Structure 1
Amino acid sequence: MYSLILRGRRLIEFQKWGHLRFASPNVLSTLSSSFSSASPADGRKRNNFTVAYLVDSLGFTTKLAESILRKVTSEAKGDPNSVLNLLKSHGFRDSHISTIISNYPRLLLLDAEKSLAPNLKFLHSRGAPTSELTEILSKVPKILGMKGDKAVGRYYDFVKDIIEADKSSNYEMSCLSALPEGSRQENIIRNVLVLRRLGVPQKLLFSLLISCSHIVSGKERFEESLKKVVEMGFDPRTSKFVEALRIVYQMSDKTVEDKVNLYNRLGFAVEDVWEMFKKYPFLLAISEKNILNSFETFMRLAFTRDEFVRMVKHCPQCIGLSSELVTKKTEFLVNTMIWTVEDVVSNPAVFGYSLEKRIVPRCNVIKALMFRGNGIPSVGYVLVCKDEVFLNRYVRKHDDKELVAELMAIFTGDRAS
């Protein structure tokens, strides 16, 4: 196991650190006011502000922010103000609450009195000081949503042990020595500490710890799976490393072999499969039925086998998409926009873009420009770029201010295309 740690550390030495993004610490008052009651006349404006705040300040995706808002306002599920007030009353500062909502936004949908308050009361009854409580629950807020004192207490203690072990190597040794040898608890702590030494970030360790797959509670199987993932070259600091570990741990060698053989029959070389797995670990977890359905869908849409292989090798996520989505996007891009199949094959990432929020708005702008005599640009130039790049490239560059306003209205949907 020690050799695995050394290998993982050497891998990290040759890779660059990614940039971390932190949520705004001043969240309580702003978020609370954004969810407060408003008159019907300004309801739409308030909702737009809330989504913008969740996206811009807390880093949520637009889809997630809108989903939370719909559930809270339309389904009347949960009371965000009650949740925020409860956390505040238990000593959580604005910075804690910002982190909690960023990591576990569904907390806003839980019942403050029936679900959250009892768990907080139980943890306080065990003697947990406020400073410890806020630190641990800010890092793993899902503990607050667990049911049963036993589960809440067990996972709280696991997280506490990991945090303390990060602060002191002496605590790590005393923690292990205090646990019954060969027990499930000892396996969990030992495995988590091994991952920690490899460089797996705390956040990812905690996600493994509270997952339902119980990966870190194993022993021989865990060690075998970890060895395979490290030898494949996955970076322990990334979520792909954790996802690959999940997949390898949960699948038998026979199941993996059968899945690789299936991809091989569809036209992929064995080495291609493992390269795709490194890009998209979930590739091996897709069912045989869904893999074949995906292949048949692309064949039905006039893609060749070679084109299918090219697309999936470049963008493995293509194979996990529904037949309906692939069909709609292909028909729109090829039939409506008159791009060729080869154009789409060269840019398979477009299958992962939202039709309503990305593809159609941008293509409506392009169609308006084509109506004025412009030619059609490449798929990649139109779709494979950020909104700001697209707007600068096709909307804002025009000297005619009326045209710019018209194109912007088409892009935002304020005017029928």
Structure 2
Amino acid sequence: MFKFVGKSSKILAYEKYCSGIRISTTQKFHFIQLNPLSSSSTQASKNSILNGKIDVPHSFTVDYLIKLCGLSEKTAISAAKNVNFKTPDKPNSVLAVFKKYGFTDAQVSDIISSYPSVLVCRPQKTLLPKIEFFQSAGFSTVDIAKVLSSGGSLLTRSLETQIVPSLNALRDLFTSYQDLVCPIKRCPGILTRSFQSLMLANIEFLRKVGVPEPNILNLLKSQPRLLVRPCDVLKESVEELEKMGLNPQDGCFARCLWRMASIDKKIWREKMALYERWGCSENEVLIAFKKHASVMAISSGKIVDVMDFLVVKMGYDPSAILKAPFIVTLSLKKTIIPRCLVHQALLSKGLLKKNVRLATLLVYPEKIFLKRFVECFEKEAAELLKVYQEKRKGTK
């Protein structure tokens, strides 16, 4: 689809932007006048800033950051330590470029909060070549704004030595734009040289241990940050999973790898002990983890609350709960408690011929649950619905 190897092919119309584009005074101020980053009530103050006049006790830079870039006073004062300007010309031209290419007010504020020095850069040299490059690579206007605002550091990186080679490396892995853009939007830093070397090394390691290529690419799309972590961290997590009996070729291996790498060993042991305290064996917990890796990602507090309600208050077998491990990840207040109490009410009234499995009770979308367990019981529907709604709202 695209690949950039030489200067002329890396950046379509690069020379046009670097040498030919000019932002007129009208263009500069069009952004500020038509789409200010703060309310209209401060327009008079903005105008004083645009004219280089200060009528408030802050420095010119701090005032500009607050009134025209949407930064809080605290953030503006902090940012002003890293950038200073006495006239609005340079920052106005930068804001005009962001506006022209569809960056939202919030995105502009995020960029400037993280990298205030961008306001004194030369747009034709720093901003426009990067924006034009992503356009030539097929990125939509919305995606360009998202990538550059989420990964503001890209604005300070070399286009030719870091961004282009990194994008080419990703392009060698993916054949469609939709797949290519996923990891970049989730982790824009993946387009830097340091991350690129880590990513390629980790991908090669996963190939060697037997993880199928489609599974590696799915992992890269959904959890790119995992593949830019130090190689020894990834290797240690793979070894832990293999000790548990997981085969790298299994579909669940990649999903479990992400969770294993993101959980501290001490916290892992604490959560394992919590499940065991409720009567679950280590093997049952590991089987549940393989089915639904999030059982080890939820907080210890939630594990205690869910198991306490289901085991102590409702009388469910803890082993049965872990056979459908998604249960533990559901909202206790909005799903588990109200549905279990409706089910309990139906049983006490003799309206159900047999007990309904917990997993069945909790897996239904809300509309289907209401239809099958509330609305079909005409005489009791109002009372059941009241129980359900009160518990969802937290009303006793």
User: TM range, normalised to the smaller chain?
Assistant: 0.5 to 0.7
The alpha-carbon deviation at position 245 of structure 1 amounts to 3.5
Aligned equivalents of 1:340, 1:141: Cα separation in 2: 49
2:348 is aligned with 1:393: no
The answer for the alignment partner of 1:233 in structure 2 is 213
TM-score by length of 2: 0.60
The answer for the alignment partner of 1:284 in structure 2 is 261
**What CA deviation, in whole Å up to 9, does each residue of 1:5-37 have, x standing for no partner?**
xxxxxxxxxxxxxxxxxxxxxxxxxxxxxxxxx
Contact 1:229 1:244 in 2 (8 A): no
Contact 1:353 1:359 in 2 (8 A): yes
Aligned equivalents of 1:318, 1:258: Cα separation in 2: 20
The answer for the alignment partner of 2:93 in structure 1 is 125
2:234 is aligned with 1:256: yes
Amino acid at match of 1:386: P
Aligned equivalents of 1:111, 1:181: Cα separation in 2: 30
The answer for the alignment partner of 1:364 in structure 2 is 341
Q: 1:272 to 1:381 in 2, by over 3 A?
A: farther
- RMSD of aligned Cα (Å): 4.2
The answer for the alignment partner of 1:329 in structure 2 is 306
Contact 2:38 2:68 in 1 (8 A): no
The alpha-carbon deviation at position 358 of structure 1 amounts to 1.2
Aligned equivalents of 1:165, 1:112: Cα separation in 2: 35
The answer for the alignment partner of 2:15 in structure 1 is none
Q: 1:220 to 1:249 in 2, by over 3 A?
A: same
The answer for the alignment partner of 2:162 in structure 1 is 184
2:138 to 149, 161, 166: 166
2:110 to 145, 153, 162: 145
Aligned equivalents of 1:190, 1:111: Cα separation in 2: 39
| Number of positions where the alignment pairs a residue of Structure 1 with one of Structure 2 | 295
The alpha-carbon deviation at position 390 of structure 1 amounts to 1.0
The alpha-carbon deviation at position 318 of structure 1 amounts to 0.7
Aligned equivalents of 1:111, 1:392: Cα separation in 2: 52
The alpha-carbon deviation at position 278 of structure 1 amounts to 2.2
**What CA deviation, in whole Å up to 9, does each residue of 1:70-124 have, x standing for no partner?**
xxxxxxxxxxxx96968xx9xxxxxxxxxxxxxxxxxxxx977553699999675
**What CA deviation, in whole Å up to 9, does each residue of 1:219-266 have, x standing for no partner?**
44333334566863347986x4334432132132x333333343455x
Aligned equivalents of 1:193, 1:278: Cα separation in 2: 21
Contact 2:163 2:192 in 1 (8 A): no
The answer for the alignment partner of 2:271 in structure 1 is 294
Identity percentage of aligned residues: 15
The alpha-carbon deviation at position 310 of structure 1 amounts to 1.5
Amino acid at match of 2:240: L
Aligned equivalents of 1:160, 1:229: Cα separation in 2: 34
Aligned equivalents of 1:190, 1:340: Cα separation in 2: 53
The alpha-carbon deviation at position 411 of structure 1 amounts to 1.1
Aligned equivalents of 2:129, 2:264: Cα separation in 1: 37
SS in 1 for 2:364: coil
2:235 is aligned with 1:269: no
Q: 1:155 to 1:366 in 2, by over 3 A?
A: farther
**What CA deviation, in whole Å up to 9, does each residue of 1:353-388 have, x standing for no partner?**
111111111112112212213453111111112111
Aligned equivalents of 1:85, 1:235: Cα separation in 2: 48
Aligned equivalents of 1:249, 1:150: Cα separation in 2: 27
Aligned equivalents of 1:217, 1:198: Cα separation in 2: 24
2:101 is aligned with 1:115: no
Q: 1:150 to 1:226 in 2, by over 3 A?
A: farther
The answer for the alignment partner of 1:343 in structure 2 is 320
Structure showing greater Rg? 2
**What CA deviation, in whole Å up to 9, does each residue of 1:335-370 have, x standing for no partner?**
211221232022110111111111111112112212
SS in 2 for 1:278: helix
Q: 1:227 to 1:243 in 2, by over 3 A?
A: farther
Contact 1:361 1:412 in 2 (8 A): yes
